[in-house]
Structure 1
Amino acid sequence: MWYLGSWMFPVVSACMWLAMLLAMFIHWEVIGHPHYPSMESGQRIAYISDVGAYGLKPLFITGCVITTVSLDLGFMAERWLRHTGRLVPNTSVAQKVLSVIAIIFAVAGSAGLILLSIFDTYHHPHLHDGFLLLFIAGYVLSAVFICAEYWRLGIHYRHHRILRISFYVKLVFIIIEVILAIVFVCTDFTSNQNIAAVFEWIVALVFTGYILSFLLDLLPSVRTRHHVPQGWREAELEKGRHGDQTLPGPPITSDSAGPNQEQGTSSEDDLATGYRGTTMTNGAGVAQPNNDSDTGRQSRWHFGGFRV
């Protein structure tokens, strides 16, 4: 069933992440912008981790776990679908290595996000900052290796535009996230917590778009009444390019002493169709054709696998 396919992993991940962010922001707005103990004295805008450390910590942990596990399953599903041929397969070992490295960094980023939600910014500020760095660096590096894989795939499969589109979407994500992360870190270390908090929320929202970009990778594997998986179409194209090398007609017998009765042919069939190495006749002992229409048949001789 197409609606239970692997393309659901990024959808579940993005919906969970966005719902968690909205719930936390609306909660902070509804209760009147409280000043949490983990916030600085002049800080008016709360970080995501500030909201997650008080009252909504179960939601924060649950949202991070579901988001990252679903996204990592999407990574692994893409690798498996490419391996089994529902997506266009990798054309080199280097592409497979890039894909595996991307998955490893994604798992590292997932571990960072889950751990930063557990070790909150109030009780474990230093651990929290370290896991935040692991989360951002892990997914940015994962996106770099995915882009490298898709760039190499796009060179080989130039007729699949979806590969180029996915490459550019992820490249844009890398550029935007790196710029925003640099601004966030600079403003945080210069004690501009309000600006840093705004950029943290923006970075989190942009991450939602990156998760959804994996729909471009997984949707081509779906099989429906009107859609054939990308890898299957490519296999048909390859078959059409190379052509059918099978020669028509019945198989040639390997018996050099005479007609092969085990192939299901009778002596009458042999006389009617001729036998390799003998002249086509109209019957036993009849060397000349009965009429002019048989002349073409009589001139056919067999030499090994060739006919004259």
Structure 2
Amino acid sequence: MAQQHSNTNTRNPTHRKVSQYFPYLRLLPIITGASWLTTLSTLFIYWLAQGRPRYPAQSNPYVAFISDIGAFILQPLFITGGTITAITLLGTILCVHVVFHWEYAIAKRAKSQRYKQVFSVLACIFQGVACPCQICLTIFDNKGYPRIHRMLLLGAFAGTALSAICTTVVFWGEMWREEQAKELQTRRQSVIASTTIFGIEFCMGVAFTTLLYLKFYRISGILEWVMAFLFTFYFWAFAGFLLLPAEEGGEGINEETPLLR
């Protein structure tokens, strides 16, 4: 009895203390998506309002790429929006994985599986590599630094893609959970949504690269903008990853509390 009382006092207050910060953690992916959507919308609307001009060093004669528009008068906005998006996305990935393993330890009273720990670390490392690439991508524009811009673009996309794959591996089991708790259902839907969007983005990325190589500029230009806007929903999907299933964490509490009275 004393043992149970000791465990409850040491675990449950910590659970309550940490869980109160979860609503604030969920703001990270929301800020990421909002920042990216605002930046893209402003660039796109500006380009349309200017009569769809063709910028210097613009390789696509029909549709200006995002970096083409962001290389000129709107570059301060492009840099600011890209920096906020990159930093908050890195924070989101870090929180998603830390919360997952912390929650597992609280709910299961044990460490998560080793391979999940490894993939979580890899996901954070890959996103950590992508973050500075995403920021520098807005500074070293395609007009003045075409070679550096392409290298940064590769690093940003590769890092984000590998981080997404590792995150999917870690949360793969969440898609098949049958618990009826509202929080768990929301997380399951979020995992399915993010995985589906990532799969669509990957297929579109392959199509974009192929069409660009074959010089189908109009379609490839449209694809780039569609992919970019779709990423907004990928970012927002992570808000559901950061829902704490209180039923799991509190299950042991409900069973032990009557014994203490």
Q: Please tell me whether residue 144 in structure 1 is matched to residue 162 in structure 2.
A: no
- Cα pair distance change 1:247/1:9, threshold 3 Å: closer
Within 2, Cα distance between the matches of 1:180 and 1:113?
20
Bigger Cα Rg:
1
Higher RCO (CA 8 Å, separation ≥ 6 residues): 2
Q: Please tell me whether residue 114 in structure 1 is matched to residue 135 in structure 2.
A: yes
1:123 counterpart (125, 138, 144): 144
Instruction: Give the structure 2 partner of residue 35 of structure 1.
Output: 54
AA paired with 2:123?
A
The TM-score with structure 1 as length reference comes to 0.68
- Cα pair distance change 1:54/1:153, threshold 3 Å: same
Deviation, 1:217, is 0.9
Deviation, 1:109, is 2.3
Please tell me whether the aligned partners of residues 72 and 103 of structure 1 are also in contact (alpha carbons under 8 angstroms): yes
Higher deviation after alignment, 12-21 or 161-170: 161-170
Higher deviation after alignment, 199-208 or 157-166: 157-166
1:187 counterpart (207, 211, 231): 211
Q: Which has the higher helix share?
A: 2
Please tell me whether the aligned partners of residues 184 and 196 of structure 1 are also in contact (alpha carbons under 8 angstroms): yes
Q: Give the gaps of 5 or more residues in structure 2.
A: 1-19
The TM-score with structure 2 as length reference comes to 0.80
Q: Please tell me whether residue 102 in structure 1 is matched to residue 116 in structure 2.
A: no
Within 1, Cα distance between the matches of 2:143 and 2:81?
19
1:23 counterpart (35, 42, 49): 42
Q: Please tell me whether residue 236 in structure 1 is matched to residue 250 in structure 2.
A: yes
Instruction: Give the structure 1 partner of residue 78 of structure 2.
Output: 60
- Cα pair distance change 1:125/1:4, threshold 3 Å: same
Deviation, 1:247, is 8.2
Within 2, Cα distance between the matches of 1:238 and 1:38?
63
RMSD of aligned Cα (Å)? 2.8
Within 1, Cα distance between the matches of 2:173 and 2:120?
11
Within 2, Cα distance between the matches of 1:132 and 1:248?
59
- Cα pair distance change 1:82/1:182, threshold 3 Å: closer
Report percent identity of matched pairs. Answer: 28
Deviation, 1:85, is 3.5
Q: Please tell me whether residue 49 in structure 1 is matched to residue 54 in structure 2.
A: no
Deviation, 1:31, is 1.4
Within 2, Cα distance between the matches of 1:97 and 1:163?
21
